[in-house]
Amino acid sequence: MDNLSTQSTIYIGLNDGDTKVQRFEDAKYLSILKNTCRNYGVAFSVQMVNGGYFHEDGHYTEENTLMLGLMNVPEQTVTEIAKDLCAFFNQESVMVTTSPVSVVFIKESL
């Protein structure tokens, strides 16, 4: 049976907000992200992607980005996690998307 759920994704760039370059190895950022989710008691999935965007001043940059996926996490908690990661990673901002999704668990045995 279908269950309507909420999927939130937080996009956290890894380039430092001041220097505009990535200061640490990807693994360090991933460790911080995992510890943050553990401290909030939320299940998560994460992907590393690369993207490009324009800063508010018009400067274009490309960077590694962590996409943190959260299912059925209250909006306030998602916002708190996003604010923490924005501060921990010294970002100008992080992007949060939220969408309703239909979730079905398929189980099968041989």
What pLDDT, in 10s, does the model give residues 19-72? 989 999 999 999 999 999 999 999 999 999 999 888 788 888 899 999 999 999
- Report how far apart, in Å, the C-alpha atoms of 25 and of each of 57, 58, 107, 108 are: 27, 27, 38, 39
Number of other CB atoms surrounding residue 78 within 10 Å? 20
Confidence of residue 2 (pLDDT cuts 50, 70, 90): low
Q: How high is the pLDDT of residue 47?
A: 98
Q: How far apart are CA 39 and CA 32, in angstroms?
A: 10
CATH 3.30.70.120 describes domain 3-97: yes
3 pLDDT more than 70: yes
Q: How high is the pLDDT of residue 1?
A: 46
